[in-house]
Amino acid sequence: METQQQNAPYAVAALVLGICSLLFGCFFVGLICGIVGLVLANKGLAAYRANPEIYSGYGMLNAGRITSILGIVFGAIYVVYYIVAVVILGTAGFAWLNMFS
C-alpha cells in the first residue's frame, strides 16, 4: 500500500507571503511579508530535507523562497527610496520656507 505524501510544512504559507511581498512591495507591508515568508520557507525546506520521502511540495517552497527574496529586495529598495526622498524633499522644503522668513 502506497502512502500519500503530504505537503511540506509552510509551503503554501511561504508561497502566499512571497507573492504578497511582490504585490505589496511598494509599501512597507511587502518587506514584512517577504521576511516572514523567507523564514517560513527556510523552516519548511529544513523539514523537507530531513524527511523528503514523506513530503511533497518542494517546488512551492522554493518558489515561496524566491518570491520572498525578491519581495525583500524590492521592499528594501522602496524603503531606501522613501528615506532619501523624505530627506531630500524635507531639506528642500525647509530651505523653501526659510526664503520667506
> Is residue 81 domain-resident?
no
In a domain, 1, yes or no: no
Q: Judge whether residue 91 has pLDDT over 70.
A: no
Domain that holds residue 38: 6-75
For residue 3, pLDDT beyond 80: no
pLDDT attached to residue 36: 96
Domain total in the chain:
1
Range of weakest confidence among 8-17, 63-72, 75-84: 75-84
Residue 57: predicted pLDDT: 86
Give 80's contacts (C-beta < 8 A, 6+ positions apart).
none
How many angstroms separate the CA atoms of 11 and 48, rounded? 10
pLDDT band at 38 (very low <50, low <70, confident <90, very high): very high
**Pair 72, 29: CB distance under 8 Å:** no
**Cβ neighbours for 59, distance < 8 A, ≥ 6 positions apart:** none
31 part of a folded domain: yes
